[in-house]
Structure 1
Amino acid sequence: MTDLKAKAGATDAGIDVKHMKWWGWGVEGVAFHHEDKPAFAPFVKKVVGVDLHGDAVAVAPSFDDLDIPASRLQAPVLAALSMIVGEGHVVLDDMSRVVHTYGKSIRDLIRIRNGVFPRVPDAVVYPATESEVAKIVATALEHDLVLIPFGGGSNIVGALEPQPHEERTVVSLDMGRLDRVLDIDEDSGLAVIQAGAQGPDMEEQLNAKGWTMGHFPDSFTHSTLGGWVATRSSGMQSDKFGDIADMTRGLRMVRPDGVVVIRAVPSASTGPSLREMIIGSEGRLGIITEVTVQVHRIPEKREILAYLFPSWEAGLKAMQAIAESDATPSVTRVSNEFETEMSFATSKESKGASALVMKGLQRFLKAKGWNLEKMCLSFIGYEGTDEHVDRNEKLVSKIVKKHGGMGVGKGPGVLYDQKKFDTPYLRDFFLDHGGAADVSETAAPWSKLLPLYREVYASANRAFDKIGVKGLVMAHLSHSYHSGACLYFTFAFEHGEAPLEQYDVVKKAIQDAFIVSGGTVSHHHGVGVEHSPWLADDVSVPGLALMQGLLDSADAGANFNPGKITGK
């Protein structure tokens, strides 16, 4: 992996807004490679049968070879939008419209690479102020347009794509110019931030004043605050800071009848929570323009330590015990044995003293009776004053030892911290070599986690057998709560000539397993169109009807990102 910090995202001509490359994750010039990771190719060959030593079997197509549907934008609408944002901020070129058509799921990437574009936005519009957003909304209602808000384009549940048979003009409303931290209330620890701010730019502005939001999802480098709120995002440090719903104290959202203003108060008893209705609404209720979030002083000390457990079951029990204890770590994560093997396989070859230490550790663990094939890797993070961090490390260390685990120091944690945002590049690399890989995540009570985990594996393996492939499922626990935790599954297989049909079989098997085992349809990726088939099972049929009634009432003309969440 090359240095991500040295790269900048692509921008539309004349518009200073960063975008990912049109055909995959991240930016041009950055990619996963395995030549310096000698264990990786043998691991992939063993678990899914894909040979990485040959030439790539699929590569990104030439953009010039794609057949992109022409824009349907009519001259009166173009004139009206240009009057609002300026002529240079209404973009109609094919590349920009393709960038704003899909997110970055495996379904999205496969369709892009195969030139499948049943419907693309007819224009991309870049407002610079809330006032401009309000005028665009008014224009959309006047001309019966479809508005789809766009942040960083990292969504993986189909929340960005136009409905395939949409006959109306579709406008992608790119919020990238609204990217500033507007104010910090230092007494209250509240920051007012525009919704289009991408993670790194927002943190840079906060850090310059001595603050951090502490929200770091996997998509951090290419996603926005508005997108986090719209999809109910969680970050890697949610154990300490909470998820985006916990951090969001106030917000502003443009609707046809004006701007909904949720004031940033600590708590309120004012009927059904409008704030909660908007968080996770995926653009169905209006356009989020500004968010007031809880921020924190940059901690005096920050560490992520690595631990090993003799089994997945021991790791789960330890995470539960930590959640129930007086310890307050920022990260609690443990991988199962398959993801642990994957983590070691993606490491560079150890040499010299490092190799000797690793061999010595393996001999020590074998002497203790560990089965190294069942070993599970864990990362636990700590933030705060020196005293706070030291106290928490000691509390966690006792719990880890009680459950048969052991600490292995800072080195692996430092590497994890450096590479935590690089993982999505693996999906493109695997796709290049004929493999399909994607993720599904859920949350469930502690009592149901292990049965759910086992059901997912049984269901996924039946699906692999059904489509006739050798597949792999990996898992880790993250985002611990007092009552339960998130389980995050990665699944991969060597695809055939119908990869999307194969993917649907496996994805359905895993999502079905979530529901029958008492988990939620999604913990932090949202619903979009990908997860909507399971929503009634998750929230009940009357619950879904209540949700649909809210959306119908709030958006009677279906102008705001129709088809997402409920499928209507």
Structure 2
Amino acid sequence: MTDVKHMKWWGWGVEGVAFNPDNKPAFAPFVKKAVGLDLSVPAVPAVAFGDLTLPSSTIDAAFLATLAGIVGEANTITDDEARLVHTYGKSIRDLLRIRASDLPRMPDVVVYPADEAQVAAVVTAAVAANAVIIPFGGGSNISGSLEPHPGEARVVISLDLGLLNKVTLIDEGSGLASIQAGAQGPFIEEQLNARGWTMGHFPDSFTHSTLGGWVATRSSGMQSDKYGDIADIARGIRMVRPAGIVDIRPVPSASTGPSVREMILGSEGRLGVITEVTVQVHRTPEVREINGYLFPSWEAGIAAMHDIAESDAKPTVTRVSDARESGFSFATGKAKEGFDPQKVLMAYLKRRGWDLEGINLSFIGFEGSPSHVAYEKKIVKRIVKKHGGLAVGKGPGVLYDQKKFDTPYLRDFLLDRGAAADVSETAAPWSRLNEIHDAVYAAANDAYEQIGTPGWIMSHLSHSYHSGACLYFTFAFVHGGEIAIEQYDVVKRAIQQAFVDHGGTISHHHGVGREHAPWLEQDISTEGVALMAGLFASADPKKNFNPDKVITY
């Protein structure tokens, strides 16, 4: 058995780590008010593995022996739990289906190649056998990019890149690092930090996602305002194809026709198996600081983020939560004995005439030399004040840093108690952000009325650009058990349609997969889809590589 570590099959993260509502006195009342869920009712734990009904592997002994001859018997796994871990990602749809034992098709075998040569040999053998290859990184995907097609009759191979996890080269003169595609976020930063470098890419899934997965889904990180999205960070790419290796050299820019690098970015395994990526890296900063700010309204916060994007300040993080998400953040705070600075602050704001239910919490990050950070903070402070905001220091930023990767655990906590929670994100021009925000709220609330249950939606802005920003929505409702996925679909469809109807994209950084594919034509046009279909059909005529993701042809 391979020693590659995976998330638990029934939820996010690792066994023994979970959201803990203890010492958060405002959380239970908040949830009761938001969706009508009584947290005093005992939780129903996830289904036991032994109670699941799992389809058997269909791989024959001869082909299994062929794969074992390439990667070794210990790295050729047909164990049911390993196959289950590699069947779905971690969306609420995925987790609901697992708990309902809705598993019509699982990978027949999981293989763990140790290097690029073994990846190439597996690809050659799989294509010769007309098998399906689904590349697998950390399994954190929430857009349906990993699951086999339910009716797939061919052998399905989950090609897990977990053994390809090393930083192989740092070009210190150029600020470039070559990293194997199966390396997860923490291990990448550990290896880079040891030599004084950082990649600066920290998506929400950072602790359990991989470089190859980031490239395959066009990921964005929390610090993309400074470091860029993965499309900006990834310069060189190596990808295994049936006839050889695509090798995109890490030049800073090129005029070499339609960009093959861009074709690979966001391709979700449809074109081949990414094995190595050369990325831009930066010296670890002398100072890293995230400060908290408060705004009296959502519109004021958005206007401030826009002004910051146009200013000489270039923060690492520009994030503002609307009043609902801010209320959620306050509700997850721990109880404090004695002096409570939050209570003092709220009393002060109330005296100044602020609507305490309408506060918008913001986090802005700064990195660099002490003088550079001081310069940028001065610019930001002036802009925040212009829009009626208030700086509240480093304390909230420290808490943000501590909790930024923990939110997915809350989804499992709620699911154990009969509530479904998930996310959708978009990006749009600055001029459309408020319109989209209001339209999504209206669409979600109409959907909750349609399914007959109270629901919650909240949002924040993040990932600011010259022309616009990302809006990230979280939604939740108490589901109806066996009809949970039907209810989810009503809400999800309403939110996604509101995105495209009001000038946004269908996904800013979670990819397309199967989840968002129905809206792709509205996003990139009929001819855009035709171009993409032509690329996939030409590159993979027998549909061996992760078929039916992004588009179906």
Measured against the shorter chain, the TM-score band is: over 0.9
Classify the secondary structure of the residue corresponding to 1:259: strand
Write the deviation string for residues 521-547 of structure 1: whole angstroms up to 9, x where unpaired: 000000000000000000000100110
Asked if structure 2 preserves the Cα contact closer than 8 Å seen for 1:529 and 1:567, the reply is no
Alignment counterpart, residue 38 of structure 2, candidates 38, 51, 57: 51
1:208 aligns with 2:190: no
Aligned equivalent of 1:503:
488
Once the two structures are superposed, residues 445-493 of structure 1 have per-residue CA deviations (whole angstroms, 9 ceiling, x without a partner) of: 0000001111101111100000001001000000000100000000000
Identity %: 67
DSSP-derived class of the 2:313 partner: coil
Cα offset, 1:419, TM superposition: 1.1
TM-score, structure 1 as length reference = 0.97
Corresponding residue number in structure 2 for 1:19: 6
| Structure 1 letter corresponding to 2:110 | V
1:389 aligned partner: 373
Residue 39, structure 1, aligned to residue 41, structure 2: no
Which aligned pairs between 1:85-484 and structure 2 lie closer than 5 A?
A: 85-353=71-339, 355=340, 357-484=341-468
The superposition leaves residues 20-57 of structure 1 with CA deviations (integer Å, 9 ceiling, x where unpaired) of 0010000000000112100000000001000101101x
**Partner of residue 553, structure 1:** 538
SS in 2 for 1:424: helix
8 Å Cα contact 1:460-1:510 kept in structure 2: yes
Q: Is 1:564 aligned to 2:545, yes or no?
A: no
Count the aligned residue pairs.
552
**Structure 1 stretches of at least 4 aligned residues deviating more than 6 Å after TM superposition:** none
Given that 1:329 and 1:380 are in contact with CA atoms closer than 8 Å, whether structure 2 keeps it comes out as: yes
Q: Distance in 2 between matches of 1:362 and 1:155?
A: 38
- C-alpha distance in 2 between matches for 1:566 and 1:38: 46
Distance (Å, rounded) in 2 between the aligned partners of 1:100 and 1:26 = 14
Give the CA deviation at 1:428: 0.3
Unaligned runs of 5+ in 1: 1-12
Higher mean displacement: 194-203 or 364-373: 364-373
Distance 2:268 2:277 in 1: 15
Look up the match of 1:4: none
Find the aligned partners of 1:241 and 1:542 in 2 and give their Cα distance: 32
State the TM-score, normalizing by the size of structure 2.
0.99
Q: What amino acid is aligned across from residue 41 of structure 1 in structure 2?
A: A
Q: Are the counterparts in 2 of residues 239 and 331 from structure 1 also a CA contact under 8 Å?
A: yes
Tell me how far apart the structure 1 counterparts of residues 398 and 140 of structure 2 sit (CA, whole Å): 25
| 1:552 Cα deviation after fit | 0.3
Aligned counterpart, 1:531: 516
Deviations for 1:139-177, whole angstroms, at most 9, x for unmatched residues?
011100000000000000000000000000000000000
- The alpha carbon displacement at 1:226 in A equals 0.2
Q: Secondary structure of 1:18's partner? A: coil
What code does the residue aligned with 2:70 have?
I
In structure 2, distance between residues paired with 1:358 and 1:518: 38
The residue type paired with residue 17 of structure 2 is: V
3-state DSSP class of the match of 1:19?
coil
Which residues of structure 2 form unaligned runs of 5+? none
CA distance in 2, matches of 1:364, 1:42: 24
* Letter matched to residue 236 of structure 2: G
CA distance in 2 between counterparts of 1:535 and 1:452 reads 18
The alpha-carbon deviation at position 390 of structure 1 amounts to 0.7
Q: AA paired with 2:22? A: E
- What letter corresponds to residue 360 of structure 1 in structure 2? V
Using the TM superposition, give the Cα deviation of residue 359 of structure 1 relative to its aligned residue in structure 2, in angstroms.
Answer: 2.6
Q: Which residue of 2 aligns with 1:3?
A: none
Which residue type is aligned with residue 451 of structure 2?
I
Aligned counterparts of 2:345 and 2:223: Cα–Cα separation in 1? 29
SS in 1 for 2:512: coil
State the 1:567 CA deviation.
2.9
- Which deviates more from structure 2 when the two are superposed, residues 75-84 or residues 177-186? 75-84
Match of 1:30 in 2: 17
For residue 350 of structure 1, report the CA deviation from its aligned partner. 2.4
Tell me the distance in 1 between the aligned counterparts of 2:80 and 2:355: 55
Aligned amino acid, residue 257 of structure 2: G
2:505 matched residue in structure 1: 520
Displacement of 1:363 in angstroms is 2.0
Paired position in structure 2 for 1:487: 471
The alignment yields a C-alpha RMSD, in angstroms, of 0.7
Matched position secondary structure for 1:352: coil
Contact 1:183–1:193 under 8 Å retained in 2: yes
Partner of 1:5: none
1-structure distance, mates of 2:343, 2:241: 62
